[in-house]
Copies of this chain bind each other. A is one copy, B any other.
Amino acid sequence: MVGKHPLRIRIVTPLCDVSEEQRRATLAEVVQFTDLGIEFDIVALAAGPASIENPIDDALAAPQVVVEALKAEQAGIDAVIIDCMGDPGLMPAREAVSIPVVGPGEASLHFAAMMGHRVGCVSVLESVRPMLFAHARAYGLAEKLVSVRTIDVPVLEIEHNLAKLSELLYLESHRMIVQDRVDTIVLGCTGFLGVADELEQRLRTEANYRVPVISPLPAAALLAASMVWGGLRHSRRAYPQADRTRLPLVISQ
């Protein structure tokens, strides 16, 4: 599987409107992997929510994510990443297409589970807590996710509060380590761009805590590429191939 150059991964941002600046920041998060022969592109949804903060946003985004996964497969893309910690549309997209579809929520939790024993996730709003715990349960990793804390800043305000964001992430991460005995941190929003390394270093230099901080998008990118390189596909017994005669319904929506 390796040798097929370049490997093409599409990042599907499950929102209707993504600024050029945000696109650039998102691509910057994975740019380091282009040296491995991976090409990334980004698409937003034709229609969908402005941000994903609760199950309603998730429900609105999911059908369009399936559409984009189908389009990506038809365009010869090798793997799809859903650019949201809530993994909207992950399960149906896997039934729709045969290429790997990877969610940053699932990918980052699995990486974290291999880095440590007690994982903490620092995310945006209180309203995402139930969803993140439900996902950990669905992915079979409930035992590992011991804490979810939030900075209580809506997704759309993140880019206007980068300095404050950095400070809030540090404070909540510190609390998770001290109070919840977390040993591994997952950033709980794919909009937390370019902050993982700084947070990891600050925890180390200011508090002498050497814990990995996992950024969900790079984790998803590495996993998606690994699946392609290793010739791995999702099980068709677990994700049965969708009936071809029913798919036009999705496309035409």
Contacts and interface: CB of A to CB of B under 8 A. Distances in A.
Interface string A194-237: 00010000000000011110100011001100100111111111
Identical chains bound together, number: 6
- Highest count of chain B CB atoms <10 Å: which of A181, A209, A212, A250: A212
A249 B115 contact: no
Nearest to A88: B59
A148 to B, nearest CB: 10
Instruction: Give the interface size bracket for A toward B.
Output: 35 or more
A6 interface: no
A249 to B, nearest CB: 7
A55 B95 contact: yes
Given A59-B66, A144-B140, A246-B50, A233 B110 contact: no
Contacts of A242: 54, 56
A192 B71 CA distance: 36
- Highest count of chain B CB atoms <10 Å: which of A33, A211, A240: A240
A113 B111 CA distance: 12
Interface stretch (A19-27, A72-80, A129-137, A159-167): A129-137
Contacts of A177: 237
Given A66-B59, A246-B56, A236 B210 contact: yes
Given A35-B3, A60-B250, A235-B115, A140 B143 contact: yes
Given A63-B59, A92-B54, A237-B210, A229 B110 contact: no
16 contacts: A36-B229, A50-B249, A56-B242, A59-B63, A110-B114, A111-B226, A111-B232, A114-B223, A115-B232, A116-B234, A116-B235, A140-B141, A182-B237, A209-B237, A212-B232, A222-B229
Q: Lowest 7 CB-CB distances: which A-B pairs, in order?
A: A183-B237, A210-B236, A116-B235, A116-B238, A55-B92, A59-B62, A222-B226
Interface of A: 1-3, 32-33, 35-37, 47, 49-50, 54-60, 62-63, 66, 89, 91-92, 94-96, 106-107, 110-111, 113-118, 126-127, 129-130, 133-134, 137-141, 143-144, 177, 181-184, 197, 209-212, 214, 218-219, 222-223, 226, 229-240, 242, 246-247, 249-250, 253
